[in-house]
Amino acid sequence: MTRIAFALVFLCVACRGEGGTAPAPEAAETPPTEVAALRWVPVSAPQDASLLEAPAVVRAAAGASGEVSSSYRARVERVHTQVGSRVERGDPIVDVLAPEVFEAAAAYVGSKRRLELHAERAEELERLRAEGLVEKSRVFEQRMLAAELQARRDEARAVLRAAGVNPQTADALARGGALTLRAPVGGIVVELDAQPGEIREAAAGPLARIRGEGSARVEVRTPGPWPAGDRAVLELTDGREIPLRGEPVAGVIDPDAGTHVHWLVPEEDRPLPDGLRGVVRLAAGAGLWEVPAGAVLQQGTISTVLRRRVGGVAQVEVVVAVSSGASALVRGPLQEGDEVAADPPRGGSPP
């Protein structure tokens, strides 16, 4: 009996060894993220005007506008134009009497004539010296006088040029003619500050301002970087619409306002008035969607949104074109009917 009991015990132990250790229970799967508690917002075509437009001003080339002013103290004699008149480059704007300029004109004419006489005399003395009839000192004296007269003439010519006077007209000016200030550019007289008989100091400001047209760039201010690749249109106050190239030629951040300043150019070069204001509107193309700004998760250089559509929820990568206030325009794997989490849970890693 004892042997039989021992055999039964051995058999039980052997059978348990063949089966091995009993398997551990499988680990439970992580339950899916709870999405029902999130607030879902449908994506839509761009609708927020603040995302699609920005204030703009035309910055024409430097030669498009100009000012008329006197470099010296002067008295206004005559005004040739009025505000609102169209003028061409070189048209007379104001006649003035400037004593310093008249003195320079008289000095220029006088020194020029005397210089010619002394130069002729010096050449004559050179011929006589070659024949041994005059001393070298007399030739030297004439050359020195000619050099002094030439210096006076150059000084007077510098004053005339500073006043905008052609030295060739100095003779007429020295005989009592008025100094005519002319338009430096063609355009419209937008300001005129001159009265006959008025005495104007040199630092009193321009007598007239002329605004013309020229090759221009459009200055645009936005709260963020410019959306690369988007077409833009400049809408002017006069109703004109001017297509602009999508890429700015330059851009900086205004340190005072914190806004981004961009300069764009028209697709076709055309003259535009300097200082004209308008609005630059982005042409929202295909693939651009409006979502809540809070829906965008920024993880390093990658932006994502939590998207829900038929078939499930996924975190997808997007490119933010514009973001301002409570809304943002993005590009990515989105379509009509998709929804995004307005305030997705923060953390995690992009897909």
Domain count, the chain: 3
**pLDDT tens across 182-205, in order?**
999 999 999 999 999 999 888 788
What is the greatest pairwise CA distance in the chain? 171
Asked if residue 128 and residue 247 are part of one domain, the reply reads no
Q: Kindly state whether residue 89 falls inside one of the protein's structural domains.
A: yes
Q: Kindly state whether residue 34 falls inside one of the protein's structural domains.
A: no
Asked if residue 154 and residue 179 are part of one domain, the reply reads yes
**pLDDT tens across 133-154, in order?**
778 788 778 778 888 888 888 8
State residue 307's pLDDT score: 92
Mean pLDDT of 112-138: 79
Mean pLDDT of the chain: 80
Q: Kindly state whether residue 232 falls inside one of the protein's structural domains.
A: yes
Q: What is the chain's alpha carbon radius of gyration, rounded to the nearest angstrom?
A: 42
CATH code for the domain in which residue 290 is found:
2.40.420.20
For residue 8, pLDDT beyond 60: no
Asked if residue 279 and residue 233 are part of one domain, the reply reads yes
**pLDDT tens across 322-351, in order?**
777 788 888 889 888 899 998 888 765 444
Angstrom distance (rounded) from CA 137 to CA 157: 30
Q: Which burial class, exposed, middle or buried, applies to 191 when counting CB atoms under 10 A from its CB (0-12, 13-18, 19+)?
A: middle
Asked if residue 187 and residue 233 are part of one domain, the reply reads no
Asked if residue 179 and residue 245 are part of one domain, the reply reads no
Angstrom distance (rounded) from CA 351 to CA 335: 19
For residue 108, pLDDT beyond 50: yes
Report which listed range, 188-197, 276-285, 307-316, is most confident: 188-197
Task: Give me the residues paired with residue 262 across strands.
Answer: 220, 251
Asked if residue 301 and residue 222 are part of one domain, the reply reads no
State residue 239's pLDDT score: 84
Asked if residue 74 and residue 172 are part of one domain, the reply reads yes
Task: Count other C-beta atoms under 10 Å from residue 43's C-beta.
Answer: 21
pLDDT band at 14 (very low <50, low <70, confident <90, very high): very low
Asked if residue 77 and residue 200 are part of one domain, the reply reads yes
For residue 29, pLDDT beyond 70: no
Q: Which of 205, 230, 261 is the last residue of a domain?
A: 205
Asked if residue 57 and residue 44 are part of one domain, the reply reads no
Asked if residue 300 and residue 241 are part of one domain, the reply reads no
For residue 93, pLDDT beyond 90: yes
Q: Kindly state whether residue 142 falls inside one of the protein's structural domains.
A: yes
State residue 228's pLDDT score: 61
pLDDT band at 230 (very low <50, low <70, confident <90, very high): low
Q: Kindly state whether residue 6 falls inside one of the protein's structural domains.
A: no
State residue 76's pLDDT score: 93
The alpha carbon of 86 is separated from its chain's Cα centroid by a whole number of angstroms, namely 28
Q: Kindly state whether residue 12 falls inside one of the protein's structural domains.
A: no
Range of the domain at 332: 40-48+286-341
Asked if residue 80 and residue 191 are part of one domain, the reply reads yes
Q: Kindly state whether residue 82 falls inside one of the protein's structural domains.
A: yes
State residue 347's pLDDT score: 60
CB contact at 8 A, 331 and 319: yes
**pLDDT tens across 33-69, in order?**
556 678 899 988 887 777 778 889 999 888 888 999 9
Q: Kindly state whether residue 259 falls inside one of the protein's structural domains.
A: yes
Does this model's pTM top 0.85? no
Tokens of 202: 């040199």
State residue 23's pLDDT score: 39
For residue 28, pLDDT beyond 50: no
**pLDDT tens across 231-251, in order?**
788 998 888 889 998 788 888
Mean pLDDT of 19-25: 40
State residue 284's pLDDT score: 63
